[in-house]
A and B are shown apart, each in its own frame.
Chain A
Amino acid sequence: MNQNTKISKVQLAEAIVQIVGAQNLIIDEETQKPYECDGLSVYCEMPLLVVLPDNKEQVQAVMVLCHQQGVPVVARGTGTGLCAGAMPDKDGIILSLAKLSRILEIDPEARTARLEPGVRNLAISEAASEFGLYYAPDPSSQIACTIGGNVAENSGGVHCLKYGLTVHNILALEVITVTGEVLQVGGSGLDNAGYDLMALMIGSEGLLGVVTEISVKLLPQPEKAQVVMAAFDDVQKAGNAVTAVISEGIIPAGLEMMDSHAIVAAEDFAKAGYPTEAKALLLCEVDGSLEEVQEHIQSVEKLFFEQGAFSCKKSGSEAERAQLWKGRKSAFPAVGRISPDYYCMDGTIPRSQLAHVLLEIDKMSDAYGLRVANVFHAGDGNLHPLILFDANVPGELEKTEEFGAKILELSVDVGGCITGEHGVGKEKIRQMHKQFNDTELTQFHAIKYAFDPLALLNPGKGIPELKRCQEYRSIDSAAE
C-alpha cells in the first residue's frame, strides 16, 4: 500500500459507489484488464479500482475522497498514450474521463468550442465542419484519443508545423485540483492576468490536476489544400530537401518523411500509391487560398527536383490528397504488421541535423541487429524511429530499450530533446537525467509540490525522483 493510503480496497470501493454508482466502478481484475496499460504495452500494472464518472461533480467528489484517504489518482482518456503515462498505480485508482464526452458548445462566430475532456480529437473537427471550421492539432491517433489526453501530453500532429501544438490552440481549462477544488485556467480572451498556468497544465501528464473542461480555438478550413509527394533514392537528400523548403520562406501545413521500411509497410497496408523502391519519401502539404497554394506547390515541387527527388506527385483532388495521407496516418499500425512488435521513439532534433541523425540511427540499427522504420514530422524535426523487435525473443526488448535510449541521448547531444509530443510518463523517466540536471529536476518537483504536495496525482511519472527532493519535502513539511 502507498504510504499515505488510509483505506482498504473494499472500503474505497464502497465509498466510490456512493459517488458514481456501481455501474461506473470496475472492481474485478478481468474487467480491469484493458486498463493495465496505455498504448505502450510493455509497461503494465493493475490498479486498485477503475472509476468512470459521468460528470465533473462526480470527478470532484472522487478527488476529495482520494485526497482524504491518500489514494493515488491516475487520470485516463482513451489510453492511446505512448509513454506509459496512463499506466495505473497499483495502490491507486484509474480515473477514466471517457464518459465525459459531450461537446458543450460551439460558438461559430468567436470560433471556439467548449468540450468535456473525453471528447475524441476528430469529433471536434467533425462537429465544427458544418460551420466551415476545424480544430488544428491532428495526432495520428485522432480517431481515438481524447482532447483531455491531448492537453495532458501537449499532442502534436502533421499540421502542427503551421498551426502549432495543443498549447497554441487552447483558450481555457477547468481543472479539478488534487483537493477537489475547481481551478479556472485561461479565459475566453487571449491573454490573462497572473501566471500562465495554461502553459504549465498543458503537457503536465496528469501530474498537476484533472482537466474536466476545455475551450479550444477553431480555425477556418482553408480554401484549398494540396499535397506533393516526393521520392528520393537517398535519405540524406530528403533530409536536405526539408531544410530547403523551410529556407525558401514557405511554411507548409505539414511536412512528413518516411524511410524505406515505412514506405513498404504503409503501401502494403494502405495502398496509397507510394513508390516502394524509394529510400525516402516526403509528403508536403500546402494550404491557404487557391492562389497561394498554386504559387507554393509549384515552388515546392521545383525545390524537390533540385534537391534530387526522382519523382514527384501532386494530389489532383481531395480524394487523392486523403489517399496520400492515408499511408502516413496508418504508418504505425502498418509497421505493426511487418514485425511482431515495434517500439516508437519520439526525440526532436534541429532540422539541420536530420540527415546526420538518420545516418547514425542506421549505424546503430546494424550494430544492434534490429531494423528501424522511420516515420516522422520532418518539418519540425520530430523523429519517430520505430524499432522492430520480437518480445518473445529473450533479451530483445531490453536490447530495444537500450537502442531507444541511445537514440534519445543522440537527440539531446545534437541540441534536441527526448520527447517532442508523446511525453515522458513512466517510459522516459531515466532519460530526463540526460536533458536536465538535478537542480532543474528539483525545480520541477517544487512545481509539482505547489499543486500536489502529497504526490497523489500520477505518481512515478514525468519527473524522476531525486534524493534531494525528498529532503526538500521533509524540510518543507517540518516547516508547516
Chain B
Amino acid sequence: MSDISETLVKQVSSAFKQSTPLKIIAGGSKAFIGREAQGEPLNVSEHKGIVSYHPSELVMTARCGTSMTEIQQTLAENGQYCPFESALFDGAATLGGTLATNLSGPARPWNGSIRDAVIGTRLINGKGEYLKFGGQVMKNVAGYDVSRLQAGALGTLGVITEISFKVLPLPAASGTVVLAMNASEAIKLMNQVSAKAVPVSGSAWLDGNLYLRYSGATKAVDSALKQFKTKNFQQLEPQQADEFWSAMNEQKLDFFKGEAPLWRFSLKSNATHLLDDQNWLIDWGGAQRWLRGDFNQSELEQQAQHSGGQVSLFRYGERSNEVNHTLSEVQKKIHKNLKASFDPKQILNPGRLYSWL
C-alpha cells in the first residue's frame, strides 16, 4: 500500500522539461504487447494498493500498480469479481497495465471489457499535469470520457495512476460443455447460442471442439446445460472447466506455446472462417480469432478487412515494424492530434502503439 504519485508527477514533469522519452513499466507482464519502444524506464509498480472498496456500491478504486490477483482475491472475499476476467499472468498483471492494454477474458462479448467497466481515472499527462476524470458513479457524462480513452492506448496518452471500476456479484453457478465440430459449424452455433436469452459466458473453439460456458443463477445454468442432453456432448467437471478457461485466458494452452507469430483477429462474430488449413483458436463467440504462423501482414489485413474487421500481430514476430492494424489517413490524423493534446512532446511510450505515434 503506497502512494508515490508525487514522485511520478515530478518524474514526468522533468522528462517533459528535458524532452526525455519515457517507457512506462509496472508488472512487466505484457511487455510483449505493442511495438518495441525505447525510453527511460518509469516504474509505476510501487504505486499500489486498493484505495476504496464498498461492496454495496459495486465499485472499487485502486492504484495502477495493484496486482490483479490481489484485486480478484479481495473481490472474491466479498462474493464479487471483475466481470472482464482479465489475465493474471502469474500474479504479475497490474490494474494499470490491464486498462492500458484493454485485455479481457472469455466473457468479453457478454460482460464487456475493462474499458466498459472503468468509470474514473487519475492520470499524469505528458506535461506532468495530474488530472482526474470521472469518479465512482456508474453514470457520468460531464466532459469527454477520458477514462475509457485510456483503454488500449498503451500508456501513450498518460500515466494512469488510479482507476475506479465497476464490479459484479459472482455468478451463483457455472457449467461448461464441450461439443465436437469443425470451425465453421462452431461459428454458426456460437452465434445461435448468443442469440438466445441464456446466460452464456464463454464460447471458444479449438482443435475440433466447441467449448460453451454458462454462468448465472443456478436454475438458469442448469436449464441452459439441459438443452444439450440430446446432443453428443461432454460436460466438464468444474475444476477441469476452470482450468481450460484460465489456460486459454492466460495463454498457456499448447496453442500458445512456441515463438511463431501470434495474430489476433477482431471480426464480426459470424464472419466466415478464414484459412481453413491453418492453426486457429476462436474465442468471444466468434468475435476474436487467434492464428499462429508466418504470414504476410498486409495480406492478413486485407482478409480481415474483407470480413469487416482487423488483425494485429499480438505477440512474437517482427516487432520493430507496425504490429497494429493500419489506420486510415483520417484516423491517423486524429490520433496524432489527440496524442499532441495529451503529450505534446511525445514522451510517453512513444512508438509503442504505432511508429508514428
Give CA–CA (A168, B324) in the complex, Å: 23
27 contacts between A and B (CB under 8 A): A111-B195, A131-B195, A156-B139, A164-B112, A183-B330, A187-B308, A190-B284, A190-B287, A194-B152, A194-B331, A221-B197, A249-B170, A289-B198, A292-B199, A295-B217, A348-B137, A350-B137, A352-B54, A382-B137, A415-B137, A419-B142, A436-B142, A440-B132, A447-B144, A448-B144, A450-B340, A462-B143
A residues engaging B (CB < 8 A)?
107-112, 131-133, 153-154, 156, 160-161, 164-165, 167-168, 177, 181-184, 187-197, 199-200, 202-204, 220-223, 243, 246-247, 249-251, 288-289, 291-292, 294-296, 348-352, 377, 380-382, 415-424, 428, 432, 435-436, 439-441, 443-444, 446-451, 462-463
A450–B337 touching, CB < 8 Å: yes
Verify if B113 is at the interface (C-beta below 8 Å from A).
yes
Give CA–CA (A227, B335) in the complex, Å: 46
B79–A381 touching, CB < 8 Å: no
A381–B145 touching, CB < 8 Å: no
B116–A168 touching, CB < 8 Å: yes
Q: A132-B195, A184-B328, A200-B149 are in contact. List 6 more A-B contacts (CB 8 A).
A: A133-B195, A167-B116, A189-B308, A349-B137, A439-B130, A450-B337
B267: shortest Cβ distance to chain A, in Å? 5
Which chain A residue lies CB-closest to B108? A190
Query: A182, A251, A443: which has the most chain B beta carbons within 10 Å?
Result: A443
Give CA–CA (A380, B138) in the complex, Å: 6
B40: shortest Cβ distance to chain A, in Å? 24
Verify if B220 is at the interface (C-beta below 8 Å from A).
yes
A417–B140 touching, CB < 8 Å: yes
B residues engaging A (CB < 8 A)?
54-59, 79, 102, 104, 108-109, 112-113, 115-116, 125, 129-149, 151-153, 157, 168-170, 172, 191-192, 194-199, 216-220, 222-224, 265-271, 284, 287-288, 308-310, 312, 324-325, 327-328, 330-331, 334-335, 337-338, 340-342, 353-354
Name the A residues within 8 Å of B309 (CB-CB): 187-189
A416: shortest Cβ distance to chain B, in Å? 5
A440–B133 touching, CB < 8 Å: yes
Name the A residues within 8 Å of B129 (CB-CB): 439, 443
Partner of A196, one of B133, B151, B288: B151
Give CA–CA (A191, B222) in the complex, Å: 31
Give CA–CA (A250, B168) in the complex, Å: 9
B137–A112 touching, CB < 8 Å: no
A190–B195 touching, CB < 8 Å: no
B147: shortest Cβ distance to chain A, in Å? 8
Give CA–CA (A199, B132) in the complex, Å: 17
Sorted nearest first, the 4 A-B pairs with minimum C-beta distance are: A189-B266, A291-B219, A199-B148, A450-B337
